[in-house]
Structure 1
Amino acid sequence: MRKLRRIFRIRFDHETTANLNVTDGLLALGYFIYYLVFIYGFGLWMFKTSIVEDLSIYFSSNYLFLSILYLPISLLSLAPIFIILRIRRQPLASVGLTCKRILLNICIGVVAALPFTWSEIYRLIVQGSSLPFEGYEALFEFLYLLVCIGLTEEVSFRGFIQTRMLGLIRNKYIAVAVVSIMFAFMHVPFQMIKADMSFVEFIRYDSIHLLITAGMHVYFVYLYTKFNGIVAPTVTHGLVNFM
């Protein structure tokens, strides 16, 4: 029983969290608000104007276009984190950006995705089904989901917001529960614009998926804390979205 508890225990890196205080927690909340406003504005730009559609005609691959489009958007969404790290004199490793045991963590990320992707893998290998996209299009889709979505969200929510929230909420389990709600809520502004729904309409429509998203945060946090970095959860995140 004790071994099981040890396996499934969430333990944040003491070196990272020991020096966190209320200021770090407030900065995390401020960044979360920035992220929401930024994503909402991006959603308006993407779905309420014709700019993106007009630009997409110059690309033969839709996901290559999305990767090129989202890369600067991802950098802008992450920029405040790197500014805060610079001002607070905190290392990149404090948000999980480390190259330690990178190959091992990639393998762990692949294995950790299996509970969510095994049925698709079975369908592809055993039943001989094919992906919706093949060749370069599938590669561009995966890279887009891995880097522009997975990596960005892992740095933002597991690496930065979740760790810094411990400066406000010392109970790690309550802190994880709070940020899981924040992570689910983060998806609402962009997706409700995409679905052309009001806030209340979208919450009602997507409530089950939002609960699943909150649960996925807990899973990603477990991977982040267990292997002390964002590589494993990023790989898992990218594969789950891809499959």
Structure 2
Amino acid sequence: MNWVNVQYKSNLRKYEKKDGMKALVTYCLIMCSAFFQGWLYTTNANVFVLNLSQILIPLVLIAVFFCFFYCSKENIRSIGINSDNIKNSIVFGLAGGFVLLAIQTALYIIQGKSVSFINPTLLNWVIFLFAAFEEEILFRGYIQTRLFGLINGQWIVSIINSVLFLSIHYPVRWIVSGAIFINALSTVYIVSLLVLHFFCDAVYKRTNCLWGAFLLHVIYNAVGAMIQIS
């Protein structure tokens, strides 16, 4: 069985160097927003404002991206916003989400930590949804596919995109701590993020539909908020 969807592969052949450069510009904008988010945490802003910023910043990024996207006259289907194979996409996303939950829990248990679960608040769920939507559209839907215009190799592009995806989770911790260091993220968190990337990547490539990857990402975000370790 061919894992990569025929339409997904067909889309890749359309992209050129200029598309790859646009993808890199998009990544730079995301990194800037991550540094800005980190700066907010160093201000005297209250908890509500900080939580609200986790909704507003993704919203602004999505709005700017879609303005840029439509000005480029690109087809919305090319970033996985379609109903093609949506049932399979959702099934794969759900399955991947629960497998990822098991992997995360197992990693903590292997470290000898006690794991318990709590219920996220409504605000948490709103944050999960917007964050997952932004990252799936920008990283899986747009950046990874357009990077093919610069690098003709799906596995190489996927690995590069996994590094880009991982890197955007550093700036907040760097700014808050006042220092740049590679171990700002825990090993478990790094492994979880990389597994998330490749799971979402696989779901999208298999179905050419982003909704399953989005659902998987929401489950991952929820799990991160639900797990309490001691």
TM-score (normalised: structure 2): 0.80
Instruction: Calculate the aligned-residue CA RMSD, in Å.
Output: 2.7
* Other-structure match for 1:225: 205
CA gap 1:119/1:26 in 2 versus in 1, 3 angstroms: closer
Gaps of 5+ in 1: 57-64, 122-128
The CA deviation at 1:101 is 4.6
The answer as to whether partners of 2:33 and 2:57 remain within 8 angstroms in 1 is: no
* Other-structure match for 2:44: 50
* Other-structure match for 2:131: 149
SS at match of 1:99: coil
Which of 56, 62, 78 in structure 1 is aligned with 2:62? Answer: 78
Which of 195, 220, 225 in structure 2 is aligned with 1:240? Answer: 220
The CA deviation at 1:107 is 3.3
Amino acid at match of 1:172: Q
Aligned equivalents of 2:82, 2:199: Cα separation in 1:
20
Aligned equivalents of 2:78, 2:152: Cα separation in 1:
17
* Other-structure match for 2:33: 38
Which of 16, 32, 50 in structure 2 is aligned with 1:21? Answer: 16
The CA deviation at 1:103 is 4.8
The CA deviation at 1:69 is 3.8
1:133 and 2:119 correspond: yes
Amino acid at match of 2:15: L
Aligned equivalents of 1:174, 1:28: Cα separation in 2:
15
Percent identity, aligned pairs only, is 20
Per-residue deviation, residues 68-103 of structure 1 (Å, max 9, x unmatched):
543321121223421332122111111111234545
Per-residue deviation, residues 10-30 of structure 1 (Å, max 9, x unmatched):
877134222210000001101
SS at match of 1:51: coil
* Other-structure match for 2:180: 199
Aligned equivalents of 2:73, 2:146: Cα separation in 1:
14
1:113 and 2:92 correspond: no
Question: In terms of mean alpha carbon deviation, does 79-88 or 89-98 score higher?
Answer: 79-88
Which of 160, 165, 168 in structure 1 is aligned with 2:147? Answer: 165
Equivalences, count:
213
Aligned equivalents of 1:106, 1:10: Cα separation in 2:
15
SS at match of 1:13: helix
The answer as to whether partners of 2:203 and 2:213 remain within 8 angstroms in 1 is: yes
Aligned equivalents of 1:69, 1:167: Cα separation in 2:
33
* Other-structure match for 1:179: 161
The answer as to whether partners of 2:5 and 2:207 remain within 8 angstroms in 1 is: no
Per-residue deviation, residues 138-158 of structure 1 (Å, max 9, x unmatched):
x4423421x222111101100
The CA deviation at 1:240 is 1.8
The answer as to whether partners of 2:96 and 2:199 remain within 8 angstroms in 1 is: no
**1:86-125 matches, cutoff 5 A:** 86-118=70-102
Q: Which is higher, the Rg of structure 1 or of structure 2?
A: 1
The CA deviation at 1:114 is 1.7
SS at match of 1:199: coil
CA gap 1:142/1:103 in 2 versus in 1, 3 angstroms: farther
The CA deviation at 1:130 is 7.7
The CA deviation at 1:131 is 4.1
